[in-house]
Amino acid sequence: MIKLLLHHDLFLSALRGDQRCETAIHHALKERRILPWALGDLIQRLSFAGATQNEIESLTKNLALIPLNARLSGEALALGGNFDQALYQKAGEAFKCRFFVSLKGSKLGSLEGMTTDALMDWKEPLPDKVEFLNLTYPIHAVFNQVDGWHMEIIQNTAFAGGKHVAAFEKAFAEYSGTGYAVGVGSGTEALLFSLLAMGIGPGDEVITQPNTFIATTEAIRQAGATVVFADVSRGTWNLDPVAVEKKITAQTKAILPVHLYGQPAELEPLLALCEKHHLELLEDACQAHGARYQGKKVGSWGRAAAFSLYPGKNLGAYGEAGVVTTNDEALAAKIRMIREHGQAQKYYHDIEGYNGRMDNLQAAAVQAKLPHLEGWNNERRQAATWYKELLSGLTEVELPEVAEGAEPVWHLFVIHVPDAQKLHEYLKTQGVFTGFHYPKALHLQKAYEFMGLKEGSFPNAEYNASHLLSLPMFPELGKPEVEKVAREIRQFFA
Ligand SMILES: Cc1ncc(COP(=O)(O)O)c(C=O)c1O
């Protein structure tokens, strides 16, 4: 994937009938491995040159425009020389563009020069490095829209609450197939506020899995309730309903399955347990935006579900945010109250709550991104299919299993190998970056020492933690990258 900065002279030439320029621009706009950028005054320049709205739209669709703000102009002025050139150089460098495409094809500062012919001939080199995560592609797709909205929010000083929060909540509820969505400050708050709104607190037990991010159990304990762990199933690494049933006591109030790595938990048997024992089901869907179980989206199965909108998630904001989905109107109203200091009316507090609102800037970012989520999830699915094809038959590698009826969204692609640390180190030397999600099961963490749970308590969760390796995974991860990862893994075991 390359980021290009396109000079306005290409667009003006295209407007004057230069076919080569027009073809090159359209190539850059359509080729999914190219992220084209231009300077923020491009539309103005085209309009001054007499372009019609249709011509402008055709030449700028999928182009991201670098805002010409005071900082950039100041840096260009300080650079001296031709101001236009300096502005291009500073903008291209600030936005980490690799090539500067112009009629002459000259180099500009640290930007390599490229002509339209070179652009048409450009072939992506075989990757020598594969990052674990790359967020630039989703940001490029929504850049102009979010930039415009953010400017407006700042102008209107509409930071807290605001129209984007309401619009995102409505869109996310529709997307999830639920009656309500409530925006909050993080996925952790989404979990905590859901538990509090359900009235779960001291003396109550909540059953969850030990192989999750600590936010799941932090929320249970911060609500005042007791964490009860149950083991997971080998292969899907999600909560095992049989193990859960054995942990149900008279104090149990809720089951909290995590849709780990973007794979839906076994919701049907878990829901049956909840019905049989009169328990709440709260889904931790922080890693699973858009995943389906038996054709129905996660987030619409439990009494409520918590989603994280942390930047690295399948749907990520430009900072911290989270959202709760539910079909229960009263529960949604309670969560709204809890997120805002226990008030339904300003300065009239029915209960003590939290400062846990979603802010308008974050809401604008996820509102713009939501329509792209299905496409990005499909790209993750494609990458997962390539991984499975290219790693199949390797006896040392356990591939993730997909439970019957589950349609994962591959937030992470996690394999299990005999010595994950060694493979991680080796891959790093070959330019492939991997992670561990998560390297130590929660019941063995210092924070939970007081539970007195020893190694061997949850064999599958412990096996997961000690053998897992998360491979690079993000939308737009290309086949050459997946091939490189698979090749290096095969090489390691050869
Ligand atoms: C399974 C799980 N639960 C909860 C959270 C907490 O979300 P946030 O970081 O938005 O608070 C995360 C985020 O990493 C997560 O992966």
- We report the CATH number of the domain holding residue 63 as 3.40.50.1010
- Contacts for 69 with CB less than 8 Å, ≥ 6 apart: none
Residues 27 and 146 reside in one and the same domain = no
Instruction: Assess if residue 485 is contained within a domain.
Output: yes
Residues 185 and 323 reside in one and the same domain = yes
Q: Residue 161: what pLDDT?
A: 75
Determine if ligand 1 sits within 6 Å of the CB of residue 240.
no
Choosing from 339, 371, 403, the residue where a domain stops is 371
Long-range Cβ contacts of 369-376 (<8 Å, 24+ apart): 369/138, 369/141, 369/142, 369/315, 369/316, 370/168, 370/171, 370/172, 370/175, 370/315, 372/138, 372/141, 372/142, 373/175, 373/289, 373/290, 373/314, 373/315, 374/290, 375/475, 376/138, 376/314, 376/475
Please list the ranges in the chain whose pLDDT falls under 70. Answer: none
Residues 204 and 104 reside in one and the same domain = no
CA-based R_g, the chain, Å? 25
- We report the CATH number of the domain holding residue 407 as 3.90.1150.10
Choosing from 340, 355, 371, the residue where a domain stops is 371
Determine if ligand 1 sits within 6 Å of the CB of residue 287.
yes
Residues 246 and 169 reside in one and the same domain = yes
Tokens of 406: 């589950």
Determine if ligand 1 sits within 6 Å of the CB of residue 208.
no
Measured from the Cα of 215, ligand 1's closest atom is: 4
Measured from the Cα of 310, ligand 1's closest atom is: 10
Residues 207 and 107 reside in one and the same domain = no
Residues 36 and 49 reside in one and the same domain = yes
Determine if ligand 1 sits within 6 Å of the CB of residue 315.
no
Among 213, 227, 409, 470, say which to mutate for ligand 1: greatest number of ligand atoms within 8 Å of CB: 213
Residue pointed to by tokens 């899995």: 209
Measured from the Cα of 260, ligand 1's closest atom is: 1
In 383-487, at which residue ranges do the beta strands (DSSP E only) sit? 406-407, 413-416, 468-471
- Centre of ligand 1 from the C-alpha of residue 322, in Å: 9
Residues 360 and 378 reside in one and the same domain = no
Tokens of 30: 């359509």
Residues 378 and 352 reside in one and the same domain = no
Q: Residue 160: what pLDDT?
A: 82
Spatial distance between the Cα atoms of 329 and 335, rounded to a whole number of angstroms: 10
Q: At what angle do helices 420-429 and 479-493 cross, to 10 degrees?
A: 120
Asked whether 230 and 282 are in contact (CB, 8 A), the reply is no
Instruction: Assess if residue 418 is contained within a domain.
Output: yes
Provide the domain limits for residue 21.
2-124
Measured from the Cα of 321, ligand 1's closest atom is: 10
Residues 351 and 230 reside in one and the same domain = yes
Instruction: Assess if residue 337 is contained within a domain.
Output: yes
Instruction: Assess if residue 225 is contained within a domain.
Output: yes
Among 195, 259, 282, 308, say which to mutate for ligand 1: greatest number of ligand atoms within 8 Å of CB: 308
Instruction: Assess if residue 297 is contained within a domain.
Output: yes
Among 206, 258, 259, 287, say which to mutate for ligand 1: greatest number of ligand atoms within 8 Å of CB: 287
Determine if ligand 1 sits within 6 Å of the CB of residue 212.
yes
Closest CA to 133 of 399, 400, 434: 434
Residues 196 and 340 reside in one and the same domain = yes
Spatial distance between the Cα atoms of 30 and 381, rounded to a whole number of angstroms: 21
Instruction: Assess if residue 135 is contained within a domain.
Output: no
In 27-72, at which residue ranges do the beta strands (DSSP E only) sit? 34-39, 64-66
**Is the previous residue joined to 318 through a cis bond, with omega within 30 degrees of 0?**
no
Question: What is the bridge-based pairing of β-strands 292-293 and 413-416?
Answer: unpaired
- Centre of ligand 1 from the C-alpha of residue 215, in Å: 6
Element (H, E) at 183: strand 180-184
Element (H, E) at 145: helix 136-155
Question: What is the bridge-based pairing of β-strands 280-284 and 99-101?
Answer: unpaired
- Centre of ligand 1 from the C-alpha of residue 282, in Å: 14
- Centre of ligand 1 from the C-alpha of residue 79, in Å: 43
Residues 338 and 390 reside in one and the same domain = no
Angle among Cα 301, 443, 399 to the nearest 5 degrees reads 60
Instruction: Assess if residue 147 is contained within a domain.
Output: yes
Choosing from 336, 354, 371, the residue where a domain stops is 371
- We report the CATH number of the domain holding residue 161 as 3.40.640.10
Nearest CA to ligand 1 atom 4: 215
CA distances from 473 to 35, 208, 236, 378 (A): 19, 26, 17, 12
- Centre of ligand 1 from the C-alpha of residue 319, in Å: 13
Determine if ligand 1 sits within 6 Å of the CB of residue 116.
no
Determine if ligand 1 sits within 6 Å of the CB of residue 283.
no
Determine if ligand 1 sits within 6 Å of the CB of residue 261.
no
Instruction: Assess if residue 133 is contained within a domain.
Output: no
Sort residue 393 into left (φ over 0), alpha (ψ -120 to 50) or beta.
left
What is the count of structural domains for the chain?
Answer: 3
Asked whether 274 and 255 are in contact (CB, 8 A), the reply is yes
Residues 85 and 202 reside in one and the same domain = no
Q: Residue 32: what pLDDT?
A: 86
